[in-house]
Amino acid sequence: MSSSSHTVVLVTGGSGFLASYCIIALLNAGFRVRTSIRSLSKSSSVKEALKNGGLTDTDFDHLSFVEADLTKDEGWDKAVEGCTYMLHVASPLLTYEPKHEDEVIIPARDGTLRVLKAAKRARVKRVVVTSSFTAIGYGHPQQTKPFTEESWSNLEKTNLGAYVKSKVISERAAWDFVKSDEGAGLELTVVNPVAIFGPVLNTEIAASIHIVQRYLTGEMPGSPHLYMSVVDVRDVAALEVLAMTNPSANGERFLAVSPPGGMMQEVALILKSRLPEVSQNVSTRVLPNILVRIVGLFDKQVAGFVSELGKKKPSSNEKAVKILGWKPRSREETIVATAESLLKFGLVKK
């Protein structure tokens, strides 16, 4: 029996794409896992997704579910009781730009503080919070050097979307909490992934995966001139576990990115070259910036990234590789695996 076999880890937001892979990684590493979901009625569909990710009925002997919602206090003390670690993966993600930014910012910030306070009360050793590259690389002028964990997105820029702001504000709140008297003694590590791709586990797909789906179906008439770094969901889950267990990770941020990055058009070009039999509908043209700006006048979600058009945003994973020994897959392998899984689940017709 490994020493981890009696160690309980809480994973928040167990029905999510990344959280599912975190559960798989933890169970495969011998941990016991408890996961929070907003309604226990979702537990069977979560198990189905986990089976699609390679888990067996025997693995479920070490998995339990608890009902808890980021916007409510109820359930969190029970969720975290007896846990040594917590991976806080749950996050309110809207697929539209809200009428008011507080619709996203307040639940993200308050939800993060809610779980950290519960963790502190339960004497959890370390919490790994999943933040985002959006807390690092937005609102800056053109970068020549890669972004690192030292960077923070610049909230002084007025045209940042609500999602970007929510990630900066909720991550800052987490760091402030562990530095305060109330949070003293609780270890915190933060993982900041770029756009997460990789094999889907069911027909409920994450926002980033829709990009590959729309390329394949032809719904994407072309690519905005946007820089888009990629990381594989399996690699982010592996990094979360490393960040949870490595003593050197306490108090650190880790950028999760599979270099090199590139423009969005490269995703279309990878699909065309690697999967020619299913990519007849993929457009490899680049949309003129003026066209995207006009669309942004009528679509708040598009407006949120207009200021980033044409900006290269390279980022470095050197810290995660050096300190934690992290080994991410290539951008190409990740994009191909994403597309193949969409075909497997019938989310794109052959």
| Per-residue pLDDT reduced to its tens digit, 48-83 | 999 999 999 999 999 999 999 998 999 999 999 999
The per-residue pLDDT of the chain, averaged, comes to 92
pTM to 2 decimals? 0.94
Taking the mean position of all CA atoms in its chain, how far away is CA 218? 26
CB atoms within 10 A of CB 350: 7
Instruction: Given the residues 72, 167, 311, 349, select the one marked as catalytic.
Output: 167
Check residue 282 and report its DSSP letter. Answer: -
The CA distance from 195 to 133, in Å, is 8
Residue 78 structure tokens: 């029970």
The amino acid that residue 266 corresponds to is E
Query: 247 φ, ψ to 5°?
Result: -55, -30
Q: Which domains does the chain have, with CATH numbers?
A: 3-205+230-258+313-329 (3.40.50.720)
Least confidently predicted of 168-182, 232-246, 292-306: 292-306
Through-space distance between the first and last CA atoms of the chain, rounded to whole angstroms = 45
Output the pLDDT for position 1: 40
> What are the tens digits of pLDDT across the range 329-342?
999 999 999 999 99
The answer to whether 47 is a known catalytic residue is: no
Least confidently predicted of 18-32, 88-102, 207-221: 88-102
| pLDDT for 263 beyond 50 | yes
Output the pLDDT for position 76: 96
> What are the tens digits of pLDDT across the range 270-315?
999 999 999 999 999 999 999 989 988 887 777 777 888 888 889 9
CB atoms within 10 A of CB 96: 10
The CA distance from 321 to 281, in Å, is 37
Residue 109's nearest CA partner among 177, 190, 34, 16 is 177
Residue 23's nearest CA partner among 46, 42, 44 is 46
Output the pLDDT for position 3: 58
Residue 154's nearest CA partner among 144, 168, 142 is 168
256 contacts 236 by C-beta, under 8 angstroms: yes
